Structure 1
Amino acid sequence: TDEWRLSCINKEFSVCPSYPPVVIVPKSIDDEALRKVAMFRHGSRFPVLSYYHKKNGMVMMRSSQPLTGTNGRRCKEDEKLINATLRPGKRGYIIDTRSLNVAQQARAKGGGFEQEAHYPQWRRIHKCIERFNILQESLIKLVEACNDQSHNMDRWLSKLEASNWLTHIKEILTAACLAAQCIDREGASVLVHGTEGTDSTLQVTSLAQIILDPRCRTIRGFESLVVREWLQAGHPFQQRCAQSAYSNSKQKWEAPVFLLFLDCVWQILRQFPCSFEFNEQFLIMLFEHAYASQFGTFLGNNENERFKLKLPQKTMSLWSWVNRAEELSKFQNPLFEANSLVIWPSVAPQSLQLWEGVFLRWNRPSKFLDEAHEEMINIIKYNKELQAKVNALRRQLAELETDDRMQENL
C-alpha cells in the first residue's frame, strides 16, 4: 500500500543482527529514525510490519520490548513510528506477552513497556505466555507422562495436568485470538511484543495470521508464514531445538517454542478440518525437521547466521523437497475446501486435546489410522466421480430440454 515501504536499512545485518536484510516499515519513517528506534528496543528489534489485513487495512506489527528502564526513558522516533500505523481517529492495541508483574520487573534490568502517557492512542494488554525455560520444563514433564508405563489412570491424568502443556496451548491461542479480534472485529492495529520478540511474539503473530488469512491455511501459504514469521523473524532454532526433551543434559536455551506453535495449529486444524490444505503429517514433518534435518532450512538462529554459514549455497532447502508433487501428496488434506472466512478457534479447556500424533506416536498403532485415511481418500474420490457424472447428466438433460423446445417451436 501507499502507507508502507521496504527498508534495506539492515542490508548488512548492521542495525539488527536477528532481522532479515529487508523489512517493511511505515513510509513516513526514514531510515535514520529507524536507527534511533532500534537503539530504543531490546536487541535492536524495532517495530516492523508482520501482517496487513486487506479487509479493513489494519495491521499487526511486532518488535521487542522498549528499553524504558526505571527512569522511564522515551524515544520520540519510536512513538512516531508506532503512531504512523494508526488511521486518523483510530486506537491501537499493544499486546504484551508478559504478565504486568514481569514487564514491570523488566524495567529494573533496563527493559520495560510503553508508557500510556507517551503512547496515548494505544491501549496495552498483558497476555502472559510463559518464558522459554518454563516451556522446556513443561515438555520434559509431558514426555515423561507419555512414557509412563504404569497404566494408572490417576497417575496419567495428574502427570498430564502437572506438565501444564495444554495450559500453555490455551494461553498462546488466547493471545493470538485477541490479536486477531482486535484487527478484524475492533478494526484496530496491533503491536505484539514480549521481551526479546523472538519466541512468544512470533507464536502470537503467526497464529493470528492463520486465524485471519486463508492463504496461511494453504501449504504454500503456511510455508511462507514459517519463513516470514519464524526463520526471517529471527527465532533462534539452533538454540531452542538443540536436543529435544529426550536429552539427559539440560541446555540453557532449549525450549519447544516452535513445537507449541505447531501444536496450536493442530488444535485449530482439528476444529476446522476442512479449512486447511495440509494435514497433520505436514505439521509433524515440520516438527521433526526443526529438531533434526538433512536440510539447511532450520539451521542457525537467524538469517545473519545462515548467511555467514553460506547455508543457501551449502545445503538444500526443505521446501524444495516438500513441494515436489510426489511428496506434496502425502501432506494434502483430502477434506480441504477453500474457506475465505476468518476462523475463530475455541480455547475452552474442553476443546483442547493432547496431540497424539506427536506425543503418543509410539504408543498407538498407525495401521488403522492409515487404513481409515486411505478409505476416506477413496470415498472422496468416488464422491467426485459421482459429482462429475451428475453434472454431465444435468448438461445432457438441459440439452434435451432445449432440443424439445426447439422442436415444439417448429
Structure 2
Amino acid sequence: MAARPWMDDGASQHCLLCHQAFSFTNRRHHCRSCARLVCGACSSRSMRLESIQRPSSSIRNVGTQLAKTTLATAASMLTTTTNESERVCDDCWARLGRGRSATPPPPSHHADDDVAYDAELMDVAADGIRNIALEVRAPDGRVLSDGNSFSMTLPSSTRVAGAYVIVTARDKSKSSAVRDDVVGRGRVFLEEGQRHIQLLRDGGVKGTVLVKATRSSAKKPLQVATIPPQTSKHMWPVALSELYPPGTTVHDACFEHINGTIVPASEQALDAFADVDRGCLIVTSHRFLHVAHTLDVISVPHASILNVEVVQRDDALVLVLTTRSYKSITFSSRSATNRDWSWCRSEWQWRVGEDRFYARPEAVVTADHDDNDDEDEDTELLSRLGLNDLDDRALRRNRLKRFIEPQKERAPSQSGADVDLGAEFARQGVATDARWRFTQANSSYDLCATYPPLLIVPAALSDARLKEGSRWRSKRRVPVLTWYDRASGAALIRASQPKSGITGAHVDDAALLHVRAAAARSRGAVAARLDDPTAFDDEEGFANSSPYKSTTAPILRICDCRSIVAAKANQLAGRGHETTSKLGGSRAATLEFLDLENFHVIRNAKKRLSEASTLEDYYRALHESRWPVYVQALISAAKVVADHLDRGDPCFVHCSDGWDRTPQVCALAQIIVDPYFRTIKGFAVLIEKDFCAFGHPFAMRSGSKGEGEAGPVFDQFLECVQSLRRGAPASFEFTESLLALLKEHVYSRFFGNFLRDSDAERCGDDAVSVWRVVESDPGRFSSPVYDSSASRRLPVLSKPSADVELELLRARIRALEK
C-alpha cells in the first residue's frame, strides 16, 4: 500500500470532522488511515489496518533522534508495517467496516419483502464552486456510489437502517493533498419522485442537490415500522405527530390527549439515528425518543435529564442519560459517531436552556377579551367565591383553565391549574365556623411570597398582628389552616419553624396563640383570656362551652417533622422550635418530634437505589439506602397526625421551612382521615392545595436551579400514596396509573403544575394543567374495585417497610425481565 501524505500539524486549526478548534485540552491527532487532523473525540477508536505505512512527513520527531539511532533504524521508522490496532477517525471506522467487529447477523426475512430504489442526482449547485464530485454512503458508512446515480435495496428486516442515504459534495478543484474538501452533506430519504435536499456544513446551507428516485421493486402493503414511511415525505425538522399520526402505538405512548388536542402540542422531530439498540433514536425538541422494532417506546424528556455523557464500550459508542430521578438510561450504536452523540448532547443543553417545553401553540393561546358580558360573568363568579380583590389575577387563571376552548366560557374546574381554595374550604365547612376567617392579607404576596393569596386564620387575629408575627417565622410562613373537620371542629394547621433562638425571649407567637384559642372549640370562652396565656391551664371551661360533646378538652398537638437534634441545631442558628410553656403548659399543648430526614438524606437514598444495575445489587441497595425505612417513617408520621385529628385535637405541623416534609405529612394525613382526597378529583385538589398553592419548590427540588437543592420530595410522597393504596385498594378511586403520570411529568416540564416554586411565580404562566389529561379520560385512571361506601378512616399498616421493600423488588424484577 502506497504511503499517504501526512497532514502537517499547522495545516488546520480545527478538527476536520467536528470542526472544533484545537487547544491545550482539545489536542490534535492524525488518523492512521486517511492521515487527516482530527480531535481525540473524533478518533477515539482503533482498528487493525493492513499494510500500514507511515508517510515520510511523519519524521517530524525523528530528526532529534538521528544522533541516537543508526540510519537503518531511522529508515525503518519511516515505513513500518504493523498488525497492531491503530488510531482511526470516525469516518474511516465506518468506511473500513466498523473495526471488523463481530456484528450480530440480521434476523431472517423474505427477499420478496425487500424494497429496491434507483436514484439519480441532478442539478448540483454550490456557492461559487463549479467542479463538484458527489459521494453517496449508506448510514453504516458503505459507499454506494461515487457518481451521479446509485441503487439501493432496503431489506425488510433492516428497512429503518437503510431508509436514507448521505450525500457528500466535495470540491474537486482543490488539490488532492488538501483533505478539507467537503462542501457539505445532506440526508436523502428514499421515496419515489424528485425533490431538492440541502447540503449543510457548519450549521449553514452550502448548496442543493436535486434527487430523483424510482422504485424498482414491486409495491406491497407497508408494515408498521419504527420510522413510518411518512418520514421520507418531510424535511427535518418535522412534527412528531406527523411521523406517528393518531391511532398508532407510538403516538399513544408519546402524547397525552386533552379533548382533541395533544400535549406537548408543538413537538418537532429534529433527527433520527438508526441501528440504536435494535431500534431508532429520535431526537425531538422535547425529548429523546427510542422506538424499538417491536414498537416498545422509551421516552426521556430533556428537562428530566441531569447529565448526558458519551462513552465507548467495546466497538460501540454509548449515549448515557442520567435522569433527575437518578436513573441511568443508555443508547448504544455501532454506526453512530462521536459527532452524532455530541450533537445530541449539545441539542439537549440548548433545549434545556431555552426551557419552552410547556409552551402551547400561539394559535391556542387565549387573548384577553374586552367583551363586557365576559367580564360580568367573571365578576359574578369571583363575587360568589369572595375573591373580588383578585380580579386581574383570577381572570388570567380562568382563561388558563379554559385554554382548550378559548371562546367557550365555562366555570373553572376544581382540579384546575390552580386550586380554588375558596370552594375547597367551603366544602370542608370552615366558612360556617365563626372561630376562623378568610383573609386576603397576602393578596399581593407581601405577607409571604410562597403562600397563596387566600388564607384562613383565627378570627380573633387581625391582619396587622398577622403581619407582625410573620417576622418570627422562617420564610414568613405563618400558621394557617389547611384542613378542617366539620364533625369535630378539629383543624390541621401548617407553618414553618419559629425564629426562637436559644432563649426564645423575643418571639411574638400571637398567631399560634390564637390558633390555640380557636382550637378550644368555643371562641367566646377564650376571647377574654387571650391576654393571659397561663389561663389556658384551666381546660374545664373550654370543654363545657364546646358545642361538640367531648369528654376531654382539646389539646393543641404540635408535630415537628424534624428530629430533636436537628431542631436544637437550628436553635443555635437563631431558629428552633415551639415552647409549650408559652402556650399554657402540657394540658394545653404538646410537642413531639416525628424524626423525618431532610431532602439531602432522601436524595442520597434515592440515588443509591437508582444506581443499582443488577438484581443482587438492587436488593443490597434497598438495605443500604434505607429508602423503605424512610417511606415507612413518613407514613407513620402521617398516621400520628391523623390519630390526633380523629380524636378531635387540632394539629400544628411544621418542619424547617414548611415546604418539604410539612406538605408530605399534611397531605398523607388528609388522605387517611378524609375519603374525599382518595377520589380522583379530591387527590388533584389535595396536591394543588398542599404542594402547589402553599409553595412546595418544584423547580428547586427537580434540580432546575442547581443539583445541590434537588431532592425527590414529591417522589417520596407518591411512593407513600402507592403504599397506602396497596393496603386498601378499594378505598381509592384512582389507580397507580395516575401516580405514574404525576411521577413522569413532575420532571418533564410539559405541564404548568410543576414548573415553579410558588403560587406567585405561576401568575404569568400560560401552561397546560396535567389535570386536564385526567379530566379528558377519567376511565384511564379509575379503579374498578373502588368502593365509595368504604370506611371513612383509611386503614394504615403499622410496619409497611417490608411491604414497600417487597413491592420495589417485584417492580425491579418486572423491569429486568422486560
TM-score using structure 1 length: 0.81
d(CA) in 2 for partners of 1:66 and 1:358?
42
Change (3 A) 1:340 1:179: same
Checking the alignment, whether the CA contact within 8 Å between 2:732 and 2:783 is kept in structure 1 is yes
2:626 aligns with one of 164, 168, 186: 164
SS of the counterpart of 2:510? helix
Aligned twin of 2:483: 51
1:83 aligns with one of 500, 516, 519: 516
Aligned twin of 1:110: 574
SS of the counterpart of 1:82? helix
1:287 aligns with one of 724, 733, 743: 743
Checking the alignment, whether the CA contact within 8 Å between 2:479 and 2:495 is kept in structure 1 is yes
Q: CA deviation at 1:37?
A: 1.7
Change (3 A) 1:143 1:361: farther
Change (3 A) 1:140 1:161: same
Aligned twin of 2:654: 193
d(CA) in 1 for partners of 2:737 and 2:671?
18
Checking the alignment, whether the CA contact within 8 Å between 2:436 and 2:518 is kept in structure 1 is no
- AA matched with 2:503: N
1:144 aligns with one of 599, 602, 611: 611
1:113-168 per-residue CA deviation (whole Å, 9 max, x = no partner) reads 111211221100001111111111111011112xx13x43xx43222111111111
Aligned twin of 1:336: 786
Aligned twin of 1:60: 492
Change (3 A) 1:257 1:123: same
d(CA) in 1 for partners of 2:751 and 2:558?
37
- The answer to whether 1:95 aligns with 2:559 is yes
Q: Which runs of 5+ in 2 are unaligned?
A: 1-432, 521-541, 543-552
d(CA) in 2 for partners of 1:359 and 1:109?
43
1:235 aligns with one of 670, 673, 696: 696
SS of the counterpart of 2:483? strand
d(CA) in 2 for partners of 1:253 and 1:335?
40
- The answer to whether 1:180 aligns with 2:611 is no
SS of the counterpart of 1:49? strand
Change (3 A) 1:357 1:335: farther
- The answer to whether 1:74 aligns with 2:507 is yes
Checking the alignment, whether the CA contact within 8 Å between 2:692 and 2:759 is kept in structure 1 is yes
- The answer to whether 1:315 aligns with 2:767 is yes
Aligned twin of 2:183: none
Q: CA deviation at 1:356?
A: 6.5
Q: CA deviation at 1:294?
A: 1.7
Aligned twin of 1:211: 672
Checking the alignment, whether the CA contact within 8 Å between 2:751 and 2:769 is kept in structure 1 is yes
Checking the alignment, whether the CA contact within 8 Å between 1:85 and 1:189 is kept in structure 2 is no
- AA matched with 2:693: Q
- The answer to whether 1:363 aligns with 2:816 is yes
Q: CA deviation at 1:350?
A: 3.0
Change (3 A) 1:357 1:228: farther
SS of the counterpart of 2:581? coil
SS of the counterpart of 1:51? strand
- AA matched with 1:224: V
Aligned twin of 1:122: 589
- AA matched with 1:329: G
More strand by share: 2
d(CA) in 2 for partners of 1:98 and 1:242?
23
d(CA) in 2 for partners of 1:358 and 1:228?
30
Return the index of the structure with the highest Cα Rg. 2
Checking the alignment, whether the CA contact within 8 Å between 2:461 and 2:511 is kept in structure 1 is no
Aligned twin of 1:132: 599
Q: CA deviation at 1:344?
A: 2.5
SS of the counterpart of 1:210? helix
- AA matched with 1:91: I
Q: CA deviation at 1:352?
A: 2.9
Checking the alignment, whether the CA contact within 8 Å between 1:3 and 1:28 is kept in structure 2 is yes
Q: CA deviation at 1:81?
A: 2.4
Q: CA deviation at 1:31?
A: 0.6
d(CA) in 2 for partners of 1:81 and 1:360?
53
- AA matched with 2:579: Q
- AA matched with 2:596: I
d(CA) in 2 for partners of 1:238 and 1:358?
28
Q: CA deviation at 1:315?
A: 1.3
Checking the alignment, whether the CA contact within 8 Å between 1:284 and 1:357 is kept in structure 2 is no
- AA matched with 1:269: R
SS of the counterpart of 1:343? coil
SS of the counterpart of 1:94? strand
2:681 aligns with one of 220, 229, 233: 220
Checking the alignment, whether the CA contact within 8 Å between 1:176 and 1:207 is kept in structure 2 is yes
Checking the alignment, whether the CA contact within 8 Å between 2:479 and 2:493 is kept in structure 1 is yes
Checking the alignment, whether the CA contact within 8 Å between 1:242 and 1:291 is kept in structure 2 is no
- AA matched with 1:176: A
Q: CA deviation at 1:105?
A: 1.0
SS of the counterpart of 2:709? coil
d(CA) in 2 for partners of 1:350 and 1:292?
31
1:82-107 per-residue CA deviation (whole Å, 9 max, x = no partner) reads 31331224211100011111101111
Change (3 A) 1:220 1:344: same
Change (3 A) 1:143 1:298: same
d(CA) in 2 for partners of 1:225 and 1:361?
31
Q: Which has the higher contact order (CA 8 A, sep 6+)?
A: 1
Residue correspondences, number: 348
Q: CA deviation at 1:357?
A: 8.8
1:259 aligns with one of 696, 706, 715: 715
d(CA) in 2 for partners of 1:79 and 1:170?
30
Q: CA deviation at 1:80?
A: 2.3
1:37-67 per-residue CA deviation (whole Å, 9 max, x = no partner) reads 2111100000010111223111110000010
Q: Which segment drifts farther, 352-361 or 253-262?
A: 352-361
d(CA) in 1 for partners of 2:605 and 2:503?
36
More helix by share: 1
Q: CA deviation at 1:360?
A: 6.5
SS of the counterpart of 1:125? strand
TM-score using structure 2 length: 0.41
Checking the alignment, whether the CA contact within 8 Å between 2:628 and 2:802 is kept in structure 1 is no
Checking the alignment, whether the CA contact within 8 Å between 2:664 and 2:717 is kept in structure 1 is yes
- The answer to whether 1:18 aligns with 2:18 is no
1:336-363 per-residue CA deviation (whole Å, 9 max, x = no partner) reads 1112420121131334344479767743
Aligned twin of 1:270: 726
Q: CA deviation at 1:12?
A: 0.6
Aligned twin of 1:6: 438
Aligned twin of 2:237: none
Change (3 A) 1:29 1:282: same
SS of the counterpart of 2:653? strand
